[in-house]
Amino acid sequence: MSKLSDLFIPGLISLSLFALAGTELRSHPTEDASKTHIAVWVGWSGFEYDAFQGVVNDYNKSQNKVFVDLLSITGNSTKTLISTSAGIPPEISLLSAAEIPQFADAGAIEVLDDECKLHGWTEDKYVPGYWDVLQYHGHTMALPATPSTVALHYNTDILKRAGYDKPPETIEEMDEMVNKITKVEDGKVKLAGFLPAEPGWWRWSWGPFFGGQLWDGKSRITMNTPENLRAMKWVESFSKRFGPAQISSYKSGFGVFASPENAFLADKVAMEVQGVWMHNFIQKYNPKLQWRAAPFPYPKDRPDLKGHTIIEQDIFVLLKNCKHRQAAIDFLAYLQKQGPMEKLCLGQKKSSPLRVKSPEFWAKHDNPSIHLFDDMAYSKSCFSTPKLGIWPEYDAEIANALDEVSLLRKTPEEAIRAIDERMQPKLDQYLNRLEKRRRAGK
Amino acid sequence: MMRRKEGRAGFLFALPWLFGLLAFMFYPLLMSLYYSFCDYSALRAPVWIGTDNYSELFHDEVFWTCVKNTLLYACVSLPLGMVMAIGLAMLLNLNVKGMSIYRTIFFIPSLVPMVSLAMLWLWILNGDYGVLNTALASIGIKGPNWLGDVAWSKPALILMSVWGVGNAMLIYLASLQDVPASLLEAAELDGANSWQKTRNVTLPMISPVIQFNMVMGIIGSLQVFAIPFVMFPGGTPARSTYFYAMYLYDNAFNYSRMGYASAMGWILFLVILLLTLVALKLSNKHVHYGGV
């Protein structure tokens, strides 16, 4: 064999592999190449994804310049982070509003102030609570997708059996109801009136529900305040009343959220904080459940907090250095119109972030408490996660502290002090480094 | 001339792999070393901060909690897993009818994907309705709240780790079948009983495999991640199951502290390297190679 043919096969294999490695990851085999393709990544799946796909299909059909490649991704924010750091971000990604500071501080998302002016995306157009979470350091960093507030969902049958025909209005009333409803037999909890750790999604919120703040908005962690301490003591009171081991053991019998074994759906917990989406799961897993929703109770001596709620929102961000910025803006503009937005929110059975809603939206929405969820977003005492770049770590620290308190391993005072002592240096360091980067223009 | 030609062809065949090794192993490895000395979030350019990440780690209370949890887990699960794997391999090496069925049964659990395994054990270990506690109750023992009690969460994970001994067991089984029958017969002729044969013939003969599995076990147990990550989000209860790799992951992907996570990665690498070298050094005089 000649020298050339000796090297031909291994050389060909090597070249082929290199060529494959260089192939662009995103391919669009089915669509007209003359259109501008934009990548939109979302974490939605199931019916929530289908609802968005319907809106995307409408958009793709409505014009012939842009085609939206929609992708459902598990762990979307992590993958957005990785793709952005690699320099190949999607045009648009769906994040939660709590993630804005992290991405904004890192300079990974576009400021949308100019687009807001141009397209009339202003405070007047949106429900105040939902608009506020999009703002960071005076700039609009994202646009609303599907929002929600949370409310106390209560099982009317269980409450009736305990002699109550309406939900608690104050925390004190709620505590009294919990004492009456909760059943402990032979050292085992058989029914719980309410559990602060169920479902455990907003454990940071107990302080704000008692009027506390988690930071001063500038540079101080403010966990160690009377309101936050009061909240922590309230959480502790459940373990003192019913036993930490008993509660923990009872909780271990709860099934996963999206299942008939969900504690609220299985009549194991009479009252639970949940969002507008809970109705979907009730319909799917226990349609016979008798339930209602009401604002979460407020402390009796803080009537100013009446009607408070947590603002939750999925948001669209425009990634920096994406390929087709203008096409992405055009698609976002389409989504912010009343028709597409209502179609998306109705499809996902959520509230709409727009102030103006059509009569059809209300008529078609099958959540019996949709007006309540919508009204609460106008409340002056509504709150959301702190706009802090170190929020994920702070959140984890609060969750751990509540765990320690619930297990009676730490007193509320010790737990709160520990959070402050750990998080304040972290915040100082974060802000210092951010400032240094800003000065260095990095 | 021919050898040089073959060498060139071999190099070309290996080129894609070499490229992969350099691009996807060496480059990230070197970059992570650099990032460990930087303030780096993966979204912005790294900024050199010297040894700040390392000194911060040494004063980080959660870091030490994770180190303690991980070492405790490794110290118990590793020897337990090794004893179980050797014991099972010896049992499965007996000359019994239908042995291939038993071998399959004991190996199958190690094929179950980690996440499925975690979901399965969530039910087995459930404090109220779990299979394990129901079985214990039937013999009059009140089982603990495995998943919710700080004192029992780590033992629960250690118990689960035994479930995955199938791979190690298979390697031991293969090595047991290589133990020369002549040596065992000679020992028998000298009047050795079963324990003496095991201690003085079988174990020395499979000692290189024991050493190999021990090193792999050290590496694996110090990197424990998937099962506690699924079963105990955030290391609950009260960070009793918060392991080193989980904190590393949180820093890298949840807290956007890639530099800090890189420093953790390098510390783990050095600790594993050190422990492996110590283990090799200590065990070398007990390891016998048949061919030497």
- Count of CB atoms within 10 A of residue B88's CB? 22
**Nearest beta carbon to residue B16 from set A14, A102, A437:** A14
Please list the pLDDT of chain B residue by residue as tens digits (292 residues): 678 888 889 999 999 999 999 999 999 999 999 999 999 998 888 999 999 999 999 999 999 999 999 999 999 999 999 999 999 999 999 988 999 999 999 999 889 888 888 889 988 998 878 899 999 999 999 899 999 899 999 999 999 999 889 999 999 999 999 999 999 999 999 999 999 999 999 999 999 999 999 999 999 999 999 999 999 989 989 999 999 999 999 999 999 999 999 999 999 999 999 999 999 998 888 888 865 5
pLDDT computed for residue A21 by the predictor: 53
Chain B's closest residue to A402, CA to CA, is B238
Q: What is the pTM of this model?
A: 0.90
Residue A215: DSSP 8-state: B
Cα A62 to Cα A367: distance, rounded to the nearest angstrom:
30
Is A396 at the interface with chain B, CB within 8 A?
yes
Q: Which chain B residues are Cβ-neighbours of A6 within 8 angstroms?
A: 5, 8-9
This model of the complex carries an ipTM of 0.88
Please list the pLDDT of chain A residue by residue as tens digits (442 residues): 455 555 566 566 666 655 555 544 444 545 567 899 999 999 999 999 999 999 999 999 999 999 999 999 999 999 999 999 889 999 999 999 999 999 999 999 999 999 999 999 999 999 999 999 999 999 999 999 999 999 999 999 999 999 999 999 999 999 999 999 999 998 889 999 999 999 999 999 999 999 999 999 999 999 999 999 999 999 999 999 999 999 998 998 888 898 999 999 999 999 999 999 999 999 999 999 999 999 999 999 999 999 999 999 999 999 999 999 999 999 999 999 999 999 999 999 999 999 999 999 999 999 999 999 999 999 999 999 999 999 999 999 999 999 999 999 999 999 999 999 999 999 999 999 999 988 887 7
pLDDT computed for residue A312 by the predictor: 92
Is A13 at the interface with chain B, CB within 8 A?
yes
Q: How many Å separate Cα A74 from the centre of its chain?
A: 15
Cα A259 to Cα A254: distance, rounded to the nearest angstrom:
10
pLDDT computed for residue B76 by the predictor: 97
**Most A-contacting residue of B12, B62, B122, B242 (CB-CB within 10 A), to test interface:** B12
Residue A354: DSSP 8-state: B
Orientation angle between helical segments B27-35 and B258-284, nearest 10 degrees: 110
Asked if A106 and B255 come within 8 Å (Cβ–Cβ), the reply is: no
**SS3 of B120, please?**
helix
Q: Which chain A residues are Cβ-neighbours of B13 within 8 angstroms?
A: 10, 13-14
Residue B275 half-sphere exposure, CB side, CA atoms within 13 Å? Answer: 18
Number of Cβ pairs < 8 A linking chain A and chain B: 108
* Helices and strands (DSSP H and E) totals, chain B: 16, 2
**If you compute the radius of gyration of chain B from its CA atoms, what whole number of angstroms results?**
24
Is A15 at the interface with chain B, CB within 8 A?
no
User: Any residues with CB less than 8 A from the CB of A376 and at least 6 apart, and which?
Assistant: A129, A149, A151, A295, A307, A308, A309, A382
Asked if B43 and A103 come within 8 Å (Cβ–Cβ), the reply is: yes
